[in-house]
Amino acid sequence: MNEQDLIKRCLIDEDAILTYPFGEDRYENIPVLRHKSNNKWFGLIFRLDGILYINLKAEPETISILKEQYPKIITSAWHMNKTHWCKVDVNKIEPDVLDAVIKISFNITAPKRMHKQKIK
């Protein structure tokens, strides 16, 4: 999977938008997925040593379970709160699991009004 394919997987709702918020030359091309309605991030796409990753948000218990089930594929987040965010190697995880974790992140960061109508 390449970066554009991953971005398409993350744009799961009309409230999901792609942004490039960093102004520094080194980081200006890092895609950040966020909610249009509340501006909260739910994903950050990046490469480390040529490997494509995404940081996603989840409840600490969920992250702990995911890290246990998918060691070396889902690990502590890169440059983010390691209790609430995890790093996913997108080319080593099954697509349906990746989609599920993206949805978890999208739903947990959604505006309160959207929590009632979570993406399934």
pLDDT of residue 66 exceeding 80, the answer is: yes
Count of domains observed in the chain:
1
**pLDDT of res. 103:** 98
Range of the domain at 105: 3-115
Sign of CA dihedral 117, 91, 95, 62: negative
Q: Give the CATH number for residue 44.
A: 3.90.1150.30
pLDDT of residue 67 exceeding 60, the answer is: yes
Q: For the whole prediction, is pTM greater than 0.85?
A: yes
**pLDDT of res. 101:** 98
Contact in structure between 3 and 46 (CB atoms under 8 Å): no
- Position 79 in a domain: yes
- Position 120 in a domain: no
- Position 22 in a domain: yes
Neighbouring residues of 30: CB distance < 8 A, sequence distance ≥ 6:
20, 22, 44, 45, 46
pLDDT tens, residue by residue, 5-58: 999 999 999 999 999 988 666 666 899 999 999 999 999 999 999 999 999 999
CA separation for the pair 20, 118 (Å, rounded): 25
- Position 86 in a domain: yes
pLDDT of residue 62 exceeding 90, the answer is: yes
**pLDDT of res. 114:** 56
